[in-house]
Structure 1
Amino acid sequence: MTLSAASVLAESAERRPGHPALVFGSERITYADLWRATRRYAAVLRDHGVGPGDRIALLLPNTPHFPMVYYGVLALGAVVVPVHGLLRADEIVHVLRDSEAKALVCAGPMLTEGAKAAEVTGTALLTVLAEDGADGADGPPRLDVLAERGEPLDHLVPRAPDDLALVLYTSGTTGRPKGAMITHLNLVMNVHTTMRSPFDLTPDDVLLGCLPLFHTFGQTCGMSACFLAGGTLVLMSRFDGPGALDLMVTEGCTVFMGVPTMYLALLDAAAGDPRRPALDRAFSGGSALPVKILEDFQEVYGCPIYEGYGLTETSPVVAYNQKAWPRRPGTVGRTIWGVEAEIAAADREDRVELLPYGEVGEIVVRGHNVMAGYLNRPEATAAVLVDGWFRTGDLGTKDADGYLTLVDRKKDMVLRGGYNVYPREVEDVLMRHPAIAQVAVIGVPDDKYGEEVCAVVRTRPGSEPGPELAADIVSWSRERVAAHKYPRLVEFVTDFPLGPSGKVLKRELTARYSGGS
Structure 2
Amino acid sequence: MTSTEVAADGFFTAVLAHPDRPALIGPGELGFGERRRVTFGELRARANQVSNGLRDLGLVRGDVVAAMVRNDSTYFELVLATGQIGLYLVPINTHLAPAEAAYIVRDSDAKVLVAHADLAAELGPLVQHRFAVAGEAPGWSSYEGFGGSAEDPADRSSGVIMGYTSGTTGRPRGVKRPLPDLTPERLAAMTTGLSRMSGLVSGEGTHLVTSPLYHAAPGSYAMSALHLGHTVVVHERFDAEATLRDIERYRVTSSHMVPTHFHRMLRLPAAVRERYDLSSLRTLVHAGAPCPVEVKRQMIEWVGPILWEYLGATEGMVSTVGSPEWLARPGTVGRPFPGFVVKLLDDTGAEVPVGEAGTIYFGGSGTFEYHNDPDKTRAGRAHGLPTVGDIGRFDEDGYLYLLDRRTDLILSGGVNIYSAEIEQHLITHPSVSDVAVIGVPDPEWGQSVLAMVQPADPAMVGEDLADELAAYCKDGLASYKRPRRYEFRSDFPRSAAGKLLRRELRDEYGR
Distance 2:242 2:84 in 1: 34
1:71 aligned onto 2:80: yes
The answer for the alignment partner of 1:486 in structure 2 is none
The answer for the alignment partner of 1:94 in structure 2 is 103
The answer for the alignment partner of 2:390 in structure 1 is 394
Indicate if the aligned counterparts of 1:41 and 1:144 stay in contact, CA closer than 8 A: no
Distance 2:95 2:397 in 1: 41
CA distance change for structure 1 residues 242 and 171 in 2, over 3 Å: closer, same or farther?
farther
The answer for the alignment partner of 2:362 in structure 1 is 365
1:381 aligned onto 2:377: yes
Unaligned runs of at least 5 residues, structure 2: 1-8, 29-34, 412-416, 420-435, 446-472, 474-479, 492-511
1:175 aligned onto 2:170: yes
CA distance change for structure 1 residues 353 and 106 in 2, over 3 Å: closer, same or farther?
same
1:140: Cα distance to partner?
Answer: 2.1
Distance 2:228 2:489 in 1: 51
Distance 1:38 1:459 in 2: 38
Indicate if the aligned counterparts of 1:281 and 1:305 stay in contact, CA closer than 8 A: yes
Give the letter for the 1:41 counterpart: V
The answer for the alignment partner of 1:305 in structure 2 is 307
The answer for the alignment partner of 1:290 in structure 2 is 292
SS in 2 for 1:91: helix
Give the letter for the 1:70 counterpart: V
1:100: Cα distance to partner?
Answer: 0.9
Give the letter for the 1:341 counterpart: V
Out of 34, 41, 51, which is 1:42 matched to?
51
CA distance change for structure 1 residues 280 and 189 in 2, over 3 Å: closer, same or farther?
closer
RMSD: 3.4
1:455: Cα distance to partner?
Answer: 5.5
Aligned counterparts, 1:332-371, within 5 A: 332-345=333-346, 347-348=347-348, 352-367=349-364, 369-371=365-367
SS in 1 for 2:114: strand
SS in 1 for 2:332: coil
Which deviations, in whole Å up to 9, do the C-alpha atoms of 1:171-217 show, x marking residues without a partner?
45532111111345597586232122134344232111112111110
SS in 2 for 1:332: strand
Distance 1:455 1:46 in 2: 48
1:516: Cα distance to partner?
Answer: 6.7
Structure 1 length-normalised TM: 0.72
Indicate if the aligned counterparts of 1:342 and 1:398 stay in contact, CA closer than 8 A: no
SS in 2 for 1:146: coil
The answer for the alignment partner of 1:229 in structure 2 is 228
Distance 1:245 1:383 in 2: 44
Distance 2:367 2:116 in 1: 28
1:12: Cα distance to partner?
Answer: 2.0
Indicate if the aligned counterparts of 2:70 and 2:236 stay in contact, CA closer than 8 A: yes
Indicate if the aligned counterparts of 2:113 and 2:127 stay in contact, CA closer than 8 A: no
Distance 1:395 1:374 in 2: 21
Indicate if the aligned counterparts of 1:9 and 1:227 stay in contact, CA closer than 8 A: yes
Unaligned runs of at least 5 residues, structure 1: 1-6, 133-137, 414-422, 425-439, 443-450, 461-496, 498-503
Out of 3, 20, 34, which is 1:18 matched to?
20
Give the letter for the 2:372 counterpart: N
Indicate if the aligned counterparts of 1:242 and 1:266 stay in contact, CA closer than 8 A: yes
Percent identical pairs in the alignment equals 27
Aligned counterparts, 1:141-290, within 5 A: 141-147=141-147, 150-155=148-153, 157-159=155-157, 165-172=160-167, 174-185=169-180, 188=188, 191-221=191-221, 223-269=222-268, 271=270, 273=272, 274-276=274-276, 277-278=278-279, 279-290=281-292
1:253: Cα distance to partner?
Answer: 1.1
The answer for the alignment partner of 1:32 in structure 2 is 41
Distance 2:302 2:383 in 1: 46
Give the letter for the 1:96 counterpart: V
CA distance change for structure 1 residues 513 and 402 in 2, over 3 Å: closer, same or farther?
farther
Give the letter for the 1:242 counterpart: E
SS in 1 for 2:315: helix
Deviates more, 1:39-48 or 1:99-108: 39-48
Give the letter for the 1:60 counterpart: V
1:94: Cα distance to partner?
Answer: 0.7
Indicate if the aligned counterparts of 1:126 and 1:140 stay in contact, CA closer than 8 A: yes
Indicate if the aligned counterparts of 2:110 and 2:127 stay in contact, CA closer than 8 A: no
Distance 2:444 2:24 in 1: 37
The answer for the alignment partner of 1:331 in structure 2 is 332
The answer for the alignment partner of 2:60 in structure 1 is 51
Distance 1:19 1:334 in 2: 37
CA distance change for structure 1 residues 459 and 122 in 2, over 3 Å: closer, same or farther?
closer
The answer for the alignment partner of 1:109 in structure 2 is 118
1:227: Cα distance to partner?
Answer: 1.4
Indicate if the aligned counterparts of 1:285 and 1:308 stay in contact, CA closer than 8 A: yes
SS in 1 for 2:144: helix
Q: May I ask how many residue pairs the two structures share in their alignment?
A: 415
The answer for the alignment partner of 2:400 in structure 1 is 404
SS in 1 for 2:153: coil
1:339: Cα distance to partner?
Answer: 1.4
1:54: Cα distance to partner?
Answer: 1.0
Distance 1:454 1:76 in 2: 42
CA distance change for structure 1 residues 235 and 111 in 2, over 3 Å: closer, same or farther?
same
The answer for the alignment partner of 1:418 in structure 2 is none
Indicate if the aligned counterparts of 1:256 and 1:281 stay in contact, CA closer than 8 A: yes
Indicate if the aligned counterparts of 2:361 and 2:387 stay in contact, CA closer than 8 A: yes
Give the letter for the 2:209 counterpart: G
Structure 2 length-normalised TM: 0.73
1:354: Cα distance to partner?
Answer: 1.4
CA distance change for structure 1 residues 199 and 108 in 2, over 3 Å: closer, same or farther?
farther
Indicate if the aligned counterparts of 1:41 and 1:143 stay in contact, CA closer than 8 A: no
The answer for the alignment partner of 1:129 in structure 2 is 134
1:310: Cα distance to partner?
Answer: 0.7
CA distance change for structure 1 residues 370 and 508 in 2, over 3 Å: closer, same or farther?
farther
SS in 2 for 1:90: helix
